[in-house]
Each structure stands twice: as structure tokens, then as C-alpha cells.
Amino acid sequence: MIETLTLMAIGARAGLLAGLFGVGGGLVVVPALTFWLPSKGLPAADVLHIAVATSLAAICVTALASAWAHFRRGAVDLRTLGWLAPGLLAGSGGGALLIAHVPRTPLTLFVAGFCAYAAWQILRPARIQPAQPARVTAQALLPAGLGIGAVSAAVGIGGGSLTVPFLHRAGVDLRRAIATSAAAGLPIAIAGTVGYLYAPSVPGMSAWSVGLVDFKLALAIGSLSVLTAPIGAMLAHRWPVARLKKGFAIWLLLVAVMLVVKL
């Protein structure tokens, strides 16, 4: 029971921060699992891989809820999503198959570097582009989806911190970019999860595990994140988010340092 409550608390925080700051809950789930799983007796060399794979499985739940919410409001750019999806599926699924065999040290350095990148992205001043015709093309969307999917599979995120800036710089309205990115998180999470299912299992994982994905952990984490993400979005309009973002960015930098120190 304590274990389940701990996982639900991780999911609740992930959903809250995802709604509050507009970043993927994977940036909370992966570090939390990375530091918690060793206490369950799992090999240190495999902990980060399990955390990334399980985070993607948990994101399947939250991404579905988020995508549906944005779709109901007509905010998802279906044409853009349609051109992104093949690359996202191939990049995330193929990336997962490859990342499962990457040694612990380079994967840790990559995740730590991405945490530092996400912190920089949160701290830098927002630049809202004026309305302009979208310049995004199918030729650009296909390779972009491939790259976004591969990076997301390696870090265990839904790709929002990559997809939103890319679409917005290409001229897509910011709100539609956010909504389309939320929907894009679903194919990323599904393909990445499937890819990690084919990886060799690790001794000590629960009976609910397939490959590197522990569905027991994923369901516990996803159960509350679905409920807290809308709360975070609501609080974003009431709390001093600029100040809170600085705290979250500092936490991400601390996570990056701690991951490297643990090597």
C-alpha cells in the first residue's frame, strides 16, 4: 500500500507540474523513479532504462486524456499531426529498441543534458511570435517527427518541450501548437512503450512487467496524473507561475547534477 501511494504521489506531482508549467510529466516521473527504484533491489545499471520505459507507459494514460480535451475544443491541427505522426511513431518505436541496449553511462548523460536543456527553456524569456502564415511543410514535419520521437523515447517524455517550440517557430499559433503537441504525445508514448516491450526483462521487476515496462508502476503513476493535470492548468492562471518556474528549473538542474554524480 505504501508503495502504491508513493507512486500515485509521483503521478499526482507529475500531472500537476505538467499542467502548471506546460512541460511533460516525464521530466518528473523519470528522475523520481530513477532515485526510487534502487530501493526495490533493482540493478543500478538498469534502473534508468526501466524508469524511461515505464514513464512512457504512464504517459499513454495522461496523453490520451490531454489529447481528447484539446481535440474536443477543436484546437488540434490535424493536418500537421497527420504529417508528424509517421515520424513520431518510427522515431519513438525505433528509438526505444535502440535505447534499450545503450549502456547506463551515455544514457544517464543524455537524460541529464536534456534536464539541463529543459531548465534553460523554462528560464529563458518567452518570445511570442506575431500571427503569421504557417510555414510548416510535410517535408519538414516528417524528419522533425523522427527526431522528436527518438529523443522522447530516450528521455521518457511526451515530446512537448520539443514539439511546441518547433511548431511555433514554423508559424503555428502558440495555442494550436500546444494542443497539437499534446495530441502528438500519444503516438510517441504508445510507440515508445511498444518498443521497450521487446527489450530483455530485468531480474527483480514485478510480475506486471513486460520487457522494460512495469505496468504496475505505470498504472499507479498515471491514475492520479490524469486528475491533477487539469488542476495544474487551472492554477497556472492563479499562482505566480513565473516564480514557480524558476524553482522547477532549479530542481531540474539539481536532478541533472545528481544523475551525473551517481555515475
Q: Which of 31-45, 118-132, 146-160 has the lowest mean pLDDT?
A: 118-132
pLDDT of residue 83: 92
What is the total count of domains within the chain?
1
Q: Give the CA distances from residue 50 to residues 67, 101, 120, in Å, rounded to whole numbers and listed in that order.
A: 25, 12, 26
For residues 115 and 252, the answer to whether their CB atoms sit within 8 Å is yes
What range defines the domain where residue 72 resides? 2-261
Q: State the pTM of this model.
A: 0.86
pLDDT of 108: 93
* pLDDT tens per residue, range 11-47: 888 777 766 665 667 888 898 899 888 888 898 899 9
Q: Of 71-85, 157-171, 198-212, which gets the smallest average pLDDT?
A: 157-171
Q: How high is the pLDDT of residue 61?
A: 81
Q: Find the mean pLDDT for residues 153-180.
A: 84
Residue with cell 507507459: 57
Q: What is the reported pLDDT for 21?
A: 62
**Three-class DSSP category at 171:** coil
DSSP string, 37-76: GGGGT--HHHHHHHHHHHHHHHHHHHHHHHHHHHHHTT-S
Report pLDDT for 74.
Answer: 85
Helix axes 215-235, 2-21, angle to 10 degrees: 40
